[in-house]
Amino acid sequence: MLIFAIIVYLIGTYFLVFWFLSILEGDFHYPDSGWKNMQTFPTVSVIIPAYNEEKTIKKTLNSVLALDYPSEKLRVVVVDDGSEDKTSKVVKDIMRLYPSCDIKLIQQENQGKGAALNNALKIIGTKYFACLDADSEVDKYSLKKMIYRFERRQHLNEKLAIITPALKVQSPKNLVQRVQYVEYLITMFLARVLSKNKSIYVAPGPFSIYKTDVIKQLGGFDEKNLTEDQEIAYRVKQSKYEIENCSDAFVYTNAPDSLKSLFYQRNRWYKGALINAWKYRKMMFNKEYGHFGMFQMPLNFLTFFLSASALFLFFYYTLKPLFKHLKDLFLVNFDFVPFLKDLFRFNFNILDFNPLITTFVVFSLLVFFYFIYKIFKEYLEKKSGEKLFSVGTYVFVYFLFLGLVVFVVLFDLSLGRIQKW
């Protein structure tokens, strides 16, 4: 068990040190404000795949129509993927309300998000297109910021194919959503690190922007993939195109509000992540792909090993002493009085001290809380008792939940269980 713990420690420490150094040497200031003085505006299509989204599609569409972008340069394509509710009716009502806006509705049998995106791609000819989940809302200036970054980077990097936004959880209402709020803040910050290292490996569904001709050239989206937004990112990287993050282009998404719905979402995400990592495994440890091949690809694989190992070690070092106490109680016929006396007695034995595990845990916590400090500072998030409690829950509880999801994913995949999108 000690050898196993040492292996986990060494692997985890390597990645922690890499992340820590990347953050220390990184310049994470927001991009310049040149977008405010844009004079030319390329055409952009916003594709909104929707399945049973009658409750959210109106807000999503309204946020698109409110974008600070010339209306004559903006197209909107809603793809109703066989909804069984009134999604199409809501869209048609908005089309009647805004007759001057270029909004198209495609109605198809339920085929999945990948097919919905591909069917929309067939009818658009704009220079860029964005994919927007039907339960998300875009900040008024996000499109202009991202297009400005795209256009400004063209002369520096002709291989730029995707720009990703900064995702936030929309109005978290309970602890499950507040913990995800913290998670998304961390993800936003790490996306900036990944962008700097040219290692972004997923183009989030809520409002990533693509160069249209590149995606068409690559064959569109994989219609059978569980996480088509990650698969297309891998394919873009494999073809030596680049992905960058626009850290001040905010998009607000609805997060699962229960552990059950969160479990199903992460189960699909992690299955898709492992399948895609395996599909593109030839990029791993390949110097041609820089940091992405030498660092991010191995991490995408090893994350599953580290998560499962961390959960196993946690239960081993907590449940083993618990079972020992239960055994001792059984031997004394469950006489709790001596047990309670020993419970509150401080007994430190230097021989029981494990410097390896203790050092790793302390170092991990220090690095993580440094991340939290930087994140709250960068995004001007006000610290409150509620948010600090959410951070604590994220650190000490949420990772156990995610580790459990990883175990289930590995078990399902070993049995060939792969659900549809």
Residue 54 within a domain: no
Residue 98 within a domain: no
- Are the CB atoms for 42 and 152 separated by under 8 Å? no
- Rounded to whole angstroms, the Cα distance separating 395 from 390 reads 9
Query: Which tops the pLDDT comparison, 296 or 309?
Result: 296
Strands (E) in 99-241, as ranges, are 103-108, 128-131, 136-138, 160-169, 208-211
- Bridge-based pairing state of the strands 242-253 and 136-138: antiparallel
Looking at residue 295, its pLDDT comes to 85
Backbone phi and psi for residue 276, each to the nearest 5 degrees, phi listed first? -70, -40
Partners of 394 in beta bridges: none
Residue 380 within a domain: yes
pLDDT class for 411, splitting at 50, 70, 90? confident
Q: How many structural domains are present in the chain? A: 1
Whether 4 shows a pLDDT value over 60: the answer reads: no
pLDDT class for 416, splitting at 50, 70, 90? confident
Mean pLDDT of the chain: 84
Looking at residue 116, its pLDDT comes to 96
H or E stretch covering 93: helix 87-97
- Rounded to whole angstroms, the Cα distance separating 4 from 305 reads 12
Residue 261 within a domain: yes
Output the pTM of the full model. 0.84
Residue 73 within a domain: no
Residue 195 within a domain: yes
340-345: average pLDDT: 56
- pLDDT tens for 216-247 read 999 999 999 999 999 999 999 999 999 999 98
- pLDDT tens for 133-170 read 999 999 999 999 999 989 887 766 678 999 999 999 99
Whether 361 shows a pLDDT value over 80: the answer reads: no
Neighbour tally for 122: CB within 10 Å: 9
The proportion of the chain whose per-residue pLDDT surpasses 70, expressed as a percent, equals 77
- Rounded to whole angstroms, the Cα distance separating 315 from 356 reads 18
377-395: average pLDDT: 72
Where is mean pLDDT largest: 49-63, 155-169, 310-324, 380-394? 49-63
H or E stretch covering 47: strand 44-50
Residue 129 within a domain: no
Name the residue range of residue 269's domain.
1-32+138-421
Residue 42 within a domain: no
In which order are the strands placed within the sheet that holds 128-131? 103-108, 74-81, 44-50, 128-131, 208-211, 160-169, 242-253, 136-138
H or E stretch covering 315: helix 297-331
Q: Indicate the range of 224-228, 264-268, 310-314 predicted with least confidence.
A: 310-314
Whether 345 shows a pLDDT value over 60: the answer reads: no
- Are the CB atoms for 106 and 77 separated by under 8 Å? yes
